[in-house]
Amino acid sequence: MSRFEERIHHALDSFQIELPSWGFANTGTRFGKFQQAEAATSIEEKFADAAEVHALTGASPSLALHVEWDLPNGVKDAQQIRSLAAKYGIRAGAINPNLFERQEYKYGSICNPDKAVRAIATDHLLESVEIAKALGMRDVSLWVSDGSNYPGSQSIRRRIDWMLEVFAAVHAALGERQRMLIEYKPFEPAFYHTDIADWGMALVLARRTGPKATVLVDTGHHYQGQNIEQIVTWLLHEELLGGFHFNDRKYADDDLTLGSIDPYQIFRIFHEIFSNAADVQQIPFMIDQSHNLKGKMEAMVQTVCNAQEIFAKAAIVDRERLGGLQDEARLVEAEECLREAFWFDVRPAIREWRRSHGIAEDPLDALRTSGYLEKIRAERRERNAKAVVSYA
Ligand code: AOS
Ligand code: ZN
Ligand code: ZN
């Protein structure tokens, strides 16, 4: 085995990426939904699909859950999740509270000017912490969708304090080894101001909240042209990088397949992680994508494979040499050192890694010939068809 191949094998042995439960269900754009016969219609089907993706890729042993969609009865549903996790050999990953669907949240959830609404949101967050505890989940992943659409219509300042108050309560409820991940996003659903608009705000909130609060980077949640790997480096430097929601984008929070638009960007992020993280394995890599056009299963398998490929490329950067070149400001050689790894064809080594782990060399092809898609389409077609909304 060459030096590169060895490093690739080693990197893949440790690489895992979490699947989102919502990525297997029928979801859509705000203009409509294209239903898929294969979409999961229950939490059990989401676990089954996740197990299939993991069997095909060997890299996705956990499933992020959404409280409202996956545990509609709250803590009472924890037992069912536990048995599904055991049955399918898939761990329950991060828990995602839902602060965006209730009618009460029209003017915000934890930043709502109405104290009673803030209390509803706080209770939901505290229940999410309880669920996480009951399931032995470490991470409570908070996406606060609050914001406003018109200048002057809300007090940006007071909303900061309300948010800090709620975060303090959530932090106090966390168990010894639990963490809260604060996700930022500059726009959508609000289009004038979003209460946690960027990594700076998330970082300040995390620092003010306490040692169990960290920042979550969703790659789709940045302004065009923003240097995401620099943000990642700063968060690592401050020991506040809580994890990732991976996807790709062309325009906004497009939730496209990881690496489909700009694989070099994901490569640069992984490279900074390899360069700066104390323990790469400790960083939760999660997928946050929900495909409306691609087949759900194909999209997820393809995403995990893309992630493996780009991670493997970042693993082989000769960082020792690069450091020397940087010190001597040998610009072109330094840049070429990075590019050499990016353009190296890691696919043969990945195929070899798969062979040595008893995994199909081509997971997408294996999915297509496995019969799994035909089986779930036949089982679920009718249930999904019933869910179709007609506007005629
Ligand atoms: C929304 O844009 C965010 O990326 C979230 O992470 C959200 O919680 C997730 O898409 C599931 O609702
Ligand atoms: Zn996200
Ligand atoms: Zn998003």
183 lines ligand 1 (CB under 6 A): yes
Average pLDDT over residues 10-17: 97
Q: Kindly report the protein residue whose alpha carbon is nearest to atom 10 of ligand 1.
A: 288
The rounded distance, in Å, linking the Cα atoms of 223 and 244 is 17
**Residue 147 token pair:** 């914001």
244 lines ligand 1 (CB under 6 A): no
Instruction: Name which residue leads in pLDDT, 191 or 30.
Output: 191
Q: Which region, left, alpha or beta, applies to residue 136 given φ > 0 means left and ψ of -120 to 50 means alpha?
A: left
CA atoms 297, 71, 206, 177: torsion sign:
negative
**232 has pLDDT over 90:** yes
Amino acid at the residue 179:
R
The rounded distance, in Å, linking the Cα atoms of 351 and 362 is 7
Percentage of the chain with pLDDT > 70?
A: 99
Q: Looking at residue 56, what is its pLDDT?
A: 98
288 lines ligand 1 (CB under 6 A): yes
218 lines ligand 1 (CB under 6 A): yes
Separation of CA 347 and ligand 3 centre (Å): 29
pLDDT in tens, 76-116: 999 999 999 999 999 999 999 999 999 999 999 999 999 99
Ion ligand 2 nearby residues (CB, 5 A): 218, 245, 288
Separation of CA 143 and ligand 1 centre (Å): 6
270 closest CA partner among 80, 8, 33, 25? 8
Q: Looking at residue 388, what is its pLDDT?
A: 62
Element (H, E) at 181: strand 179-183
Amino acid at the residue 220:
G
| Helix, coil or strand: residue 282 | helix
**390 has pLDDT over 60:** no
270 lines ligand 1 (CB under 6 A): no
| Upper half-sphere CA count for residue 224 (Cβ side, 13 Å) | 3
Q: Looking at residue 2, what is its pLDDT?
A: 86
Q: Looking at residue 22, what is its pLDDT?
A: 97
**216 has pLDDT over 50:** yes
179: Cβ contacts below 8 Å, ≥ 6 apart: 138, 139, 140, 212, 213, 214, 242
**178 has pLDDT over 50:** yes
Separation of CA 243 and ligand 1 centre (Å): 14
Q: Kindly report the protein residue whose alpha carbon is nearest to atom 9 of ligand 1.
A: 288
The answer to whether 312 and 346 are in contact (CB under 8 A) is yes
Average pLDDT over residues 127-151: 98
Average pLDDT over residues 55-60: 98
**Residue 39 token pair:** 């979409």
Instruction: Name which residue leads in pLDDT, 71 or 31.
Output: 71
Separation of CA 245 and ligand 2 centre (Å): 5
Ion ligand 3 nearby residues (CB, 5 A): 253
* Average pLDDT of the chain, as a whole number: 96
The count of residues in the chain is: 392
**30 has pLDDT over 90:** no
pLDDT in tens, 274-284: 999 999 999 99
Q: Kindly report the protein residue whose alpha carbon is nearest to atom 8 of ligand 1.
A: 143
Per-residue b or e along 158-177, where b marks 16 or more CB atoms closer than 10 Å to that residue's CB: ebbebbeebbeebbebbeee
The rounded distance, in Å, linking the Cα atoms of 193 and 111 is 12
pLDDT in tens, 320-343: 999 999 999 999 999 999 999 999
Q: Looking at residue 391, what is its pLDDT?
A: 44
14 closest CA partner among 53, 58, 55? 58
255 lines ligand 1 (CB under 6 A): no
pLDDT in tens, 258-302: 999 999 999 999 999 999 999 999 999 999 999 989 999 999 999
* Ordered domains of the chain (ranges, CATH): 3-385 (3.20.20.150)
